[in-house]
Copies of this chain bind each other. A is one copy, B any other.
């Protein structure tokens, strides 16, 4: 496996690993949007929006188009949304997994000795 590909993946996932940046990508899914519009919807300072956009821009995930005093951003490759979708599917699968595990514990709990409640949330931060 090429090292450059692995470096790319690392930088790419790093760029996505931020709640605001994920929100930005979600918003840009509907099409291009100005920084102003983004700022209004995100409800954070405009400098903050610019900073997060800069991260996405430096990784060439988004690109900008200037029009008057406004700057419109759009996602370069729609496959980025696939990434978000797959992540969502993994999230859902984990939820279902946890839920059916809990149900099974309840069933067994009715007749057997009390099971240890070591239930950890699926895919969550460490304790």
Contact = CB atoms under 8 A, between A and B. Distances in A.
Interface of A: 1, 5-14, 16-19, 22-23, 26, 54, 58-61, 76-77, 79-80, 82-84, 86-91, 93-94, 120, 122-126
Closest 4 CB pairs of A and B: A58-B126, A14-B17, A13-B17, A13-B16
- The A interface is mostly helix, strand or loop, or mixed, namely helix
Contacts of A79: 86, 89-90, 93
11 contacts: A6-B19, A8-B91, A9-B22, A9-B88, A10-B17, A11-B124, A11-B125, A59-B125, A60-B120, A61-B123, A79-B90
A78 B73 CA distance: 33
A52 B122 CA distance: 18
Copy number in this complex? 2
A86 to B, nearest CB: 5
A10, A80, A123, most chain B CB atoms within 10 A: A123
A87 B83 contact: yes
Contacts of A86: 79, 82-83, 86
A66 to B, nearest CB: 15
